[in-house]
Amino acid sequence: MRRRVRHWVRATALSTVALVCLSGCASALSGEPSAENAANATLNVVGVDKSSSFDQTVQNALSDVEAFWKTAYPTISGGKPLEPLKGGLYSVDGLQVAKTGEVSGPAGKEGCIAESPSFIIDNGAFCLVDDSIAWDRAETHLFAKLAKQYGTLMVALIFAHEFGHAISYRLGVFDRTPKLQTIYTESQADCAAGAWAASALKHQAAHFVDTTPEKLDDALEGFLDGRDSTPGTINEVSHGNGFDRLSALADGLKNGVKYCYSDSYFNRTFTERPFSSQDDYDAGGNQPLADVVDPSGLEVRDLNRFWTAAGKLISKTFKPVTLKKADHPKCGGTPTSEFGYCPTDNTVYYSASFAKAAYNSLPGVQFDQDTGDVILVFNQPADFALGELISIGWGLAVRHQFFGADMDGTKALKAAVCYTGAYAKDVNLAQTDPAAKSKILLLSPADLDEAVSALLDLAGQDRAFGARGTTGLDRIQAFNQGYKQSLSSCNY
C-alpha cells in the first residue's frame, strides 16, 4: 500500500474526450425531520447492480438532486426547463476494471469510458462528450468506503456536485472564452452541492428528509477525507484544497444557486498551492509536536506579532499571550476542558494528551495501485490542526483584551474562530511572496485542510472549547468569514 495522487472532482482531457471526475458558510439550519424518507428510487442505470446498496444510494441521491434542479434551473436559465441527461447513467465495477483493464457490456460505450476505461477506478464523472454520469460502485473502492464511514448524505453531496457540472454544461460554462481553469468549474460544482444541501436541511429532499446539521457535519468530514492529495508541483493544482472546496460548498448553502451560477462567482480566489520544497513535501508540511507547543516557538511568537499589529490599527494595545501545559485551564472552561484561555493570567492552557491527539488527527486515504482498493486512515500528523486550536485561544484573548466581551457562548466561539481565519490569511503565503519576509511563521500548503478538519471535529469537543451551540459548518463559516473579510466582520 502506498499513497497516490487522485483526482476526485477534476476536469480532465482524455485525448479528444473531456470529462469531469468525481472524488471526494452559512449557519446550518436547525430542526427535526418532518417525515420518513421516501421509498427507494428506481432510475434507468446502465450496468446497475441491484444487490448493491451503494448503487441504490446513488439512485436516491440523483433522484433528489434532479428534482431540486427541475425547480431551481429555470431561475438561472431565463425560464428554460431542465433538460435530462442525454447520455444517461452508468454504474461500473471498478475492481473488475482494475483486473481486466476493460469495462464490459453496454457501460463500455459511455463516452469517456470508451476513451479510457481505467479512469473510472475509484472515481466517477460527468462526461462532456455524451452528457452522462458514470461511477465506480466497487465495495472496496473509494466511494463505497467513504459512504460506509461517513453516511449516505456524503454520497448525495458527491452527486450533487456532479450534477452541478451538468448544470454548468447546460449553461455553456465549459464553452467560455477564454476557457476557465479547472479549479473554477470544480468550485462552482461544490457551490451547487451546497445549494442542494440547503434544501436537504429544510427536509425537501425526499430520500434524505432525515438530514440534520449533525449528519451534514459527518458528510463534510467525508468530503474533506476524499480530497485530493496536496499538490507536489504547480501542474497538479486543479481543484482547490479542502478549505477551498468546503468554502465553496458553504457559499452555496448560504447564497443558493443564483450565486453559484452568476458571472461574479468566478471572481473568487483560491488558496491551494504546491509545496515549495522537497523537504516540506516529505514532511507533509508538519513541524514536530514539541515545536508547535513550544512557549517561545514560532506560532506563539507569530500570533503575538499579528495581534500586536492588529491592535495598533484600532488604537488598542495587545498584551502578548503565553502558552502553558496543564491538565486543565486555570480558570473558566468546564471540568472536562483540556484546552482553553484564562484571562486572569492571559494564558492559553493545553493538556499534553489532548495536544498529542489534536496533532495526530487528520484523516486520509490509501490506495492499492494494482486493485484500486482503499483503506481509510486516521490520526495522521497535522500540526496546524493543533495550531488552529491554539489560535482560537488567542482569538478569545483578543475578544477579552480589545473589547471586554464575554468569552462564553456561541458568539464568543464564532468570533474567536473568525479571528483565526484572519490570522491564517495573513500567514498563508508562499515563501517567494515578498510579504512573507515580515512573518515569523508561514503556513504549509496542507495547513488549511488541517485547520478545517480541526474546526469540524476537534474545536467543538468538550475536551476543547465545547460546541457552544455551533455545528462544524458554523465554525467553518466563521473561519471563512475571517479569512475573506476584514477583522471587523468578526465582532459578533
- Write the pLDDT tens digit of every residue in 215-245: 999 999 998 887 767 676 666 666 678 899 9
> Which sign does the torsion angle of CA 32, 472, 246, 373 carry?
negative
pLDDT for the residue numbered 322: 98
Q: What is the pLDDT of residue 36?
A: 82
Average pLDDT over residues 69-76: 98
Q: Per-residue confidence at 335, pLDDT binned at 50, 70, 90?
A: confident
Cell of 123: 472515481
Query: Residue 11: its pLDDT value, please?
Result: 34
CA distances, 83 to each of 71, 192, 261, 322 (Å): 12, 17, 17, 60
pLDDT in tens, 460-483: 999 999 999 999 999 999 999 999
Q: DSSP characters for 168-228?
A: HHHTTGGG-SSPPPHHHHHHHHHHHHHHHHHHHHTT--GGGTT--HHHHHHHHHHHHHTSP
Q: How confident is the model at residue 35 (pLDDT cuts 50, 70, 90)?
A: low
Spatial contact of 228 and 7, defined as CB atoms under 8 Å apart = yes
What is the spatial distance between Cα 320 and Cα 69, in angstroms, rounded to a whole number?
A: 52
3-state secondary structure at position 11: strand
Query: What average pLDDT does range 355-359 have in this prediction?
Result: 98
The answer to whether the beta carbons of residues 130 and 115 sit under 8 Å apart is no
Location of C-alpha cell 480532465? 12
β partners of residue 425: none
Q: List Cβ neighbours of 89 (8 Å cut-off, separation of 6 or more).
A: 43, 44, 45, 46, 62, 132, 133, 134
Position 265 scores a pLDDT of: 97
pTM attached to this predicted model: 0.90
> Given pLDDT bands bounded at 50, 70 and 90, which one contains residue 161?
very high
pLDDT at position 450: 96
| Confidence tier at 40 by pLDDT (50, 70, 90) | very high
Listed ranges 75-84, 262-271, 275-284, 326-335; the one with the highest mean pLDDT = 75-84
Mean of all residue pLDDT scores within the chain = 90
Euclidean distance between CA atoms 464 and 217, whole angstroms: 18
Half-sphere exposure of residue 370, counting CA atoms within 13 Å on the CB side? 1
Confidence category of residue 2, pLDDT binned at 50, 70, 90: very low
User: Has residue 382 got a pLDDT over 80?
Assistant: yes
pLDDT digits (tens, 9 = 90+) for 391-447: 999 999 999 999 999 999 999 999 999 999 999 999 999 888 899 999 999 999 889
Q: Pick the residue with more confidence: 160 or 35?
A: 160
